Amino acid sequence: MCPSGKFDGPVKPAKHISFSPARDAPLMKGLWGARVMRETKETDIELSMSLGGGHVSLDFKGLGFFGHMLNALATYAGFSMDLTVKGDKHVDDHHTVEDVGLVLGEGLNLCLGDFDGHARFGSALVPMDEALAEAVVDLGRRPFLFFQVNWPQSVTGSFELCLVEEFFRAFSQKAGMTLHLIGRHGHNSHHLCEALFKATGLALGQATAPGNQKGPLSTKGIL
């Protein structure tokens, strides 16, 4: 149903266009890039990203706090990212936040290519004033999210913090990433959330760094 209450037809399948360059060279920060476009009746998102460079550009309106968090994640991971988002905010923020997670996850997956040669694991513990957050990452093609955060306030500004878990679930599923996120303590939700995104960025920066091994870091020899 559309907001007016009239049925406007079935939701069309998402249109995906993904691109990443050929990978015939060793993994290096910033060497590989990806472009992902996702278009549905709910959102229209375009992303260009690479694993290094530190350039972050976000173009979307009405989700200032969420943009602030994405900027923190990309900055602390050392990723370059150009992200343009249009979403159905006349409904609510859920579709936009979740679909951004799907697109970022797909972009990271493309940047990793055959998952060969990166450090794979990363972890970080980040404070922000009274708040402390922990993130642990395994970029090993095993998508899973463990999320244990109790928000002292349910919103910060106009942003509903229940959407943070939805973002990270979508992100981890598309990226092929096991991600554990824990809010150790804190009584200001803004501080706790920002520490969580910064910790995730730092952990991803470690996990995407070139590994010392040849091939994937796995006892199986393949990921």
| Segment holding 193, helix H or strand E | helix 189-207
Please name the fold of domain 15-207.
Ribosomal Protein S5; domain 2 (3.30.230)
CA–centroid distance for 33 within its chain: 15
pTM assigned to the model: 0.84
The pLDDT tens digits for 72-87 are 999 999 999 999 998 8
Q: Give the pLDDT score at 58.
A: 93
* Chain mean pLDDT for the chain: 85
Q: Where are the domains of the chain?
A: 15-207
Greatest mean pLDDT range, 18-32, 112-126, 208-222? 112-126
Measured distance CA(22)–CA(62) in Å, rounded: 36
State yes or no: pLDDT of 51 exceeds 80.
Answer: yes
Sheet containing strand 80-87, strands side by side: 15-19, 33-39, 43-50, 80-87, 56-59
Encode pLDDT of 159-208 as tens digits.
Answer: 999 999 999 999 999 999 999 999 999 999 999 999 999 999 999 999 99
Helices 162-175 and 94-112 cross at an angle (nearest 10°) of 30
pLDDT above 70 (res 32): no
CA angle 165, 96, 190 (to 5 degrees): 45
Q: What is the sign of the dihedral through the CA atoms of 196, 77, 18 and 178?
A: negative
Q: How confident is the model at residue 18 (pLDDT cuts 50, 70, 90)?
A: low
Percent over 70 (pLDDT), the chain: 78
The string of pLDDT tens digits covering residues 93-130 is 889 999 999 999 999 999 988 877 788 999 999 999 99
Distance CA 16, CA 194 (A): 30
